[in-house]
Amino acid sequence: MAVDVIMPQMGESIFEGTVTKWLKKPGDKIERDEPLFEISTDKVDAEIPSPAAGVLKEIKVAEGQTVPIQTVVAVIDAAGSAAAAVSPAPAPAPARAEAPTAPAAPAAKAEAKPAPAPVAPRPAAPAAATAGVRGDGHGRRIHSSPLVRRLARENSIDLETLTGTGAGGRISKKDILAAIASGGSVAARPGVPGTAGAQAGGPLENAVPRERIYFGSYEVQPMTAMRQKIAEHMVASKRVSPHVYSIEEADMTRIAQLRARAKDEFEKRNAVKLTFMPFFLRACVQALRAFPTVNASADGPNVVLHREINLGIAVALDGGLIVPVVRNADEKNFLGLQRAINDFAERARSKKLKPEEVQESTFSITNPGTYGGLMGLPVINQPNVAILGIGAIQKRPIVIDDAIAIRSMVYLTLSYDHRVVDGAIAHQFMGKIKAALEGWNEEIL
Amino acid sequence: MAQVTYLEAIRQALDEEMARDPSVVLIGEDIGVYGGAFKATEGLLARYGWERVIDTPISETAIVGAAVGMSYLGLRPVAEMQFMDFIVCCFNQIANYAAKSHYRWGAPVPIVVRGPSGGGVHGGPFHSANPEMYFVHTPGLKVVCPATPRDAKGLLKSAIRDNNPVLFFEHKFLYRRVKEELPSEDYSVPIGKAALRREGRNLTIASYGAMLHTCLDAAGELEKEGVEAEVIDLRTLLPLDREMILASVRKTNKLLVVHEDTRTGGIAGEIAAVVCEEAFGDLDGPVVRVTSLDTPVPYSPPLEERFLPNAARIADAARRLAHY
């Protein structure tokens, strides 16, 4: 039985995609969900798994060709008969077959030094070797090195966008340095919301003269691209938005007990861990509905009240952080929120977030309690007007009806933009969150 | 000024240290009347007398055992192994007594055990070994392997002045083959410091002993092809100069280790582990070894030639690594 392989739709507004690489040749056996080809779209590059097990019968779209979504790009013979007639692959489009680009020295530096003498080229390895490395049946592997991966990480470069010139098509130090020098391959990877990757960004200014910074023994570490974006974003947010802070505490005992009771069953049924986060998201949704000015952005003399409730969730990464956005959080049920949070956290850490997934938040939440923080006073994630900080949930002695009780307590902090939100609103907003948490009455299973 | 051979540099170090310090004594087989199998102690008996240049029966165990005992009584004995192959005969004296004495009894053992090691001279399986790694695995010892006359003299002086046991692996292939001018004044070379012999940016080659010269030959060949190899002379295997190795790897991002010792359990394995632990994120290729084969050193000249690393094999490995 023949199964058509189609060009998938990789995002709301995406209507076409480019096949960048076939990982299988006609006649190759393939398992269901095994990577079959790679595509590139306006927003994201991805590896597309095979829809069926069998033998790849025919490739209809060559590497380098761009086709509309839903176009049949290949046919798989799901019967798996190896004898199935095999059509040859169309010749690859020339664009993709270019030789790896030599590092174009930046014009300003061109005169300073002759280009470093390249390492003498080895007798060209047979081109087939490259194909062999990638099409090894275990999906695409990008061959690089620890050094290359580190430099890619530090400079936010997507290795999939580079062409390797090392042995067997490996991405070498030379290739990654060229990419960094040209600056052109900086991936369209999610940065911090609000700071587009292309934006050059002014140099980060110092608060004191430089000579007061360097003394004694020190080491200078260049900021990674992500670090710089965070720095610029934080400075801009603090400069533009007058921050005010409100602190509230909520009694989490009821939720803690509910969670302890339901945890195992929840995990067994849904194959996803039950954390405190969806409770907080739910409470935020209720409070944001009640106080729309907190779910807003400021634009000069206008306040933009967002009708969608899109919650940005700060996720800490090695050397940085990212804020994926749970869109339309008010339309998701409890399980849906928990799944979205786990999925984002996991993909944020493995750098698999799509650009659109870190944009268009209307309110943000950060969680200093994860690292034991009693409370934190966060900086507003622009273009929001407020951000909620959740402290560590701790058992504390609390006075209830003139008796001292042991309750699970949490400090909640709200940083808000006083241009848009006043203290009265902020405290009512926090009261609403507190009431939603303390009076939790929703089924979670 | 006169060019001094590696062998003469060693003789000078012994002579000068004996003149400087009356507690320095020599002990070994045929070192007195005969002046040593390779003439490293020639003339010293006449100059310092039989109490300080002691000929012994053929027993390495007795030589090192006596040296340990003399060191307890305030002397600084330099024991000669006629060939370093036979240092394993006194393994117990070195590994159990000399290495542990300071640690266990607070009694330092300021002895040097020195002698010719290495192949390339058709000496066969009992007169060509590189037994340094048995001892690199033994805490409490220092293991020194000089590659140049200047280092041979300067490091031997440091070894004699050291208050703990130092094993000094001379390379017999270099004895009369390498020469250089030496400083006229008294000097020493610190134990535990490697030397940068050649700068480069495409890869680092680390080696020691006779192989250092082979590596420099290979680096010269590679330069003609545009491959710039940085060459490090380890000089001391224990303690290893990790800082210099790591600094060089952080610069070139690739490392080739070359040694004449056999492959398995050679210093290259230890260096590879250090680099992987400390500088993994700086590696742009695998750490590669070029070493002798895992066999005894063959007597047959063609077999020995095949057994030992040579400049062509080193250059080939370096080329592949540079283009990796």
Q: Which of A136, A138, A264, A418 is catalytic?
A: A418
Q: Identify whether B239 is preceded by a cis peptide bond (ω within 30 of 0).
A: yes
Per CB-CB distance under 8 Å, the chain B contacts of A170 are: 324
Report the pLDDT value the prediction gives residue B14, as an integer from 0 to 100.
98
Q: Please state, in angstroms and as integers, the Cα–Cα distance from residue A368 to each residue in A339, A376, A412, B206, following that order.
A: 21, 6, 10, 48
Report the pLDDT value the prediction gives residue A324, as an integer from 0 to 100.
93
Per CB-CB distance under 8 Å, the chain B contacts of A146 are: 280-284
Classify strands B255-262 and B288-292 as parallel, antiparallel or unpaired. parallel
Amino acid symbol at A224: T
Tell me whether residues B226 and A146 touch, CB distance under 8 A: no
Per CB-CB distance under 8 Å, the chain A contacts of B284 are: 145-148, 172-173
State the nearest Cα–Cα gap between A316 and chain B, in angstroms.
21
Report the pLDDT value the prediction gives residue A12, as an integer from 0 to 100.
62
Tell me the torsion sign for CA atoms B122, B127, B132, B133: positive
Q: Please state, in angstroms and as integers, the Cα–Cα distance from residue A372 to each residue in A111, A260, A411, B25, B242, following that order.
A: 53, 20, 12, 66, 38
Tell me how far apart the 2 most distant CA atoms of chain B are, in Å: 60
Which tens digit of pLDDT belongs to each residue from A366-414?
999 988 899 999 999 999 999 999 999 999 999 999 999 999 999 999 9
Per CB-CB distance under 8 Å, the chain B contacts of A155 are: none
Compute the distance between CA of residue B90 and CA of residue B107 in angstroms, rounded to an integer. 20
Report the pLDDT value the prediction gives residue A85, as an integer from 0 to 100.
43
Task: Specify whether A77 is catalytic.
Answer: no
State the nearest Cα–Cα gap between A386 and chain B, in angstroms.
39
- Tell me the residue ranges of DSSP E strands in chain B: 4-5, 24-28, 53-55, 76-80, 112-117, 142-144, 166-171, 179-180, 195-198, 203-207, 229-233, 236-238, 255-262, 288-292
Tally Cβ neighbours within 10 Å of residue B193: 15
**DSSP structure class, residue B250:** H
Report the pLDDT value the prediction gives residue A137, as an integer from 0 to 100.
40
Task: Specify whether A175 is catalytic.
Answer: no
Report the pLDDT value the prediction gives residue A147, as an integer from 0 to 100.
92
State the nearest Cα–Cα gap between B224 and chain A, in angstroms.
9
Residue B98 in 3-state DSSP?
Answer: helix
Tell me the torsion sign for CA atoms A160, A165, A168, A171: negative
Q: Identify whether A94 is preceded by a cis peptide bond (ω within 30 of 0).
A: no
Q: What is the pTM of this model?
A: 0.52
**Residue B292, by phi and psi: left (phi above 0), alpha (psi -120 to 50) or beta?**
beta
* B84 contact partners, CB below 8 Å, separation of at least 6: B115, B116, B117, B118, B129, B130, B131, B169, B170
- Output the tens digit of pLDDT for each of chain A's 445 residues: 788 898 887 766 667 788 888 999 999 999 888 889 888 766 566 788 888 888 999 999 988 888 888 889 999 988 644 444 444 444 444 433 334 444 443 433 333 344 444 444 444 333 333 333 333 344 457 788 899 998 888 888 888 888 888 888 889 898 898 888 876 444 433 333 333 333 333 457 788 888 788 888 888 888 887 888 888 889 999 999 999 999 999 999 999 999 999 999 999 999 999 999 999 999 999 999 999 999 999 998 999 999 999 999 999 988 888 999 999 999 999 999 999 999 999 898 887 888 788 889 999 999 999 888 999 999 999 999 999 999 999 999 999 999 999 999 999 999 999 999 999 999 999 999 999 999 998 888 7
The residues on A that touch B, with CB distances below 8 Å, are: 117-120, 122, 145-150, 166-167, 170, 172-173
Report the pLDDT value the prediction gives residue A79, as an integer from 0 to 100.
67
Tell me whether residues A120 and B225 touch, CB distance under 8 A: yes
Classify strands B112-117 and B53-55 as parallel, antiparallel or unpaired. unpaired
Report the pLDDT value the prediction gives residue A200, as an integer from 0 to 100.
36
Report the pLDDT value the prediction gives residue B156, as an integer from 0 to 100.
98
Size of interface A-B (CB pairs under 8 A): 40
Residue B25 in 3-state DSSP?
Answer: strand
* Residue A211: exposure state from Cβ atoms within 10 A (0-12, 13-18, ≥19): exposed
Strand partners, B76: B24
Amino acid symbol at A179: A
Assigned token pair, B43: 């003339």
- The torsion of the CA quartet B238, B243, B247, B248, rounded to 10 degrees, works out to -10
State the nearest Cα–Cα gap between A119 and chain B, in angstroms.
5
Tally Cβ neighbours within 10 Å of residue A273: 11
Backbone φ and ψ for A16, nearest 5 degrees, come out as -150, 165
Compute the distance between CA of residue A305 and CA of residue A12 in angstroms, rounded to an integer. 23
CB-CB contact of B137 with B170 (8 Å): no
Taking 70 as the pLDDT cut, the residues of chain B under it are: none
Q: Return the residue matching tokens 């031997």.
A: B156
Residue B14 in 3-state DSSP?
Answer: helix
The residues on B that touch A, with CB distances below 8 Å, are: 202, 225-227, 253, 280-285, 319-320, 322-324
Which tens digit of pLDDT belongs to each residue from B33-69?
999 999 999 999 999 999 999 999 999 999 999 999 9
Assigned token pair, A178: 């060229």
